[in-house]
Amino acid sequence: MTQVINNMNSYVEILRPGNAVMALIAVVLMAIIGHTYSFGIVLGAISVFIATGAGNTINDYCDYEIDKINKPDRPIPSGRIKLENALYYSLILFIIASILGFFISFENGVTVIICSVLMIVYAYDFKQRCLIGNICVALLTGLTFVYGGLITCDVNLGIFLGFFAFLMTLSREIIKDSEDIEGDLKEDSNTLPIKYGIKNAVIIAVILDVLTCILSPVLYVYKVFSVYYMIIVLVADIIFIYSAVLALKDQSKENLHKVSTYMKIAMFIAFISFAVGSII
């Protein structure tokens, strides 16, 4: 019985539930902002969670050799999930997510399929390409807002918020690549820090970081959100700037991991500011 539970836990762990929840938050935010609460939102959140989990799983499948160096405790390199089982698991999850998308609408179903294809191509190829992989992940994050906008019938706002999510994610992805450069080098990857150096990659991430902070008042100026949005997003901006300073000072793996964590917290706070700014 204990072995069965441990196996189940491994199949949950490989989904990276924390990241998957971050993805579905975009759909929930679009519901809160648009004051639209329906069964479609529930299906949308679930489908995004499942699709993101499938993407994380196929990514771990393709990154098996790299993860033996960078993340040896993950389910596949640790031997808790067989390599071929991870592949089948991810494909089943992609199919389930797509079916749920089509239950909402044709457009949502097509969007899930497009995102699923992007995640698969990213795992097999784009991840190894300089900056293209980072852009792909950032684009997928932005598309979750568009996906939510399709459900709430506010696609334009979804695109607007998706753009900010794109910038924040792109910056963090570059930092994560800089953190994982040791394993990527052994796999002959062509990431941004490998091609142009960690310091230059960090500088680009910092520029994107600062650009996000500079543009954040736009959502208040154009009356998308209330002044309460500005109060909360200012906290996120401060953390982003602090993360940028830390990254510029020290490009060690340990410090960049810390920076990546801070940036994830800042993104979550920024998302909270979207919700609060639309309610109050």
Share of the chain above pLDDT 70, in %: 95
Helix runs in the chain, H state only: 2-13, 17-33, 39-62, 64-70, 83-104, 106-124, 132-152, 155-179, 181-186, 192-196, 198-215, 218-221, 227-249, 253-279
Give the pLDDT confidence score for residue 66 in this predicted structure.
Answer: 76
| pLDDT band with cut points at 50, 70 and 90 for residue 205 | very high
Q: What is the mean pLDDT of residues 244-268?
A: 91
| Residue pLDDT, tens place only, 136-163 | 999 999 999 999 999 998 998 899 899 9
Mean pLDDT of the chain: 88
Give the pLDDT confidence score for residue 60 in this predicted structure.
Answer: 85
Give the pLDDT confidence score for residue 24 in this predicted structure.
Answer: 87
- How far the first Cα of the chain sits from its last, in Å, is 49
Chain centroid to CA 99:
22
Give the pLDDT confidence score for residue 125 in this predicted structure.
Answer: 82
| Residue pLDDT, tens place only, 164-196 | 999 999 999 999 888 877 777 666 678 888 888
| Residue pLDDT, tens place only, 15-46 | 888 888 888 889 999 998 888 888 999 999 99
Give the pLDDT confidence score for residue 4 in this predicted structure.
Answer: 47
Q: Which domains does the chain have, with CATH numbers?
A: 1-153 (1.10.357.140), 154-280 (1.20.120)
Instruction: Answer whether 175's CB lies under 8 Å from 205's CB.
Output: yes
Rounded alpha-carbon distances, angstroms, from residue 43 to 27, 50, 56, 267, 276: 10, 10, 20, 24, 23
**Phi, psi (5° rounding) for residue 30?**
-60, -35
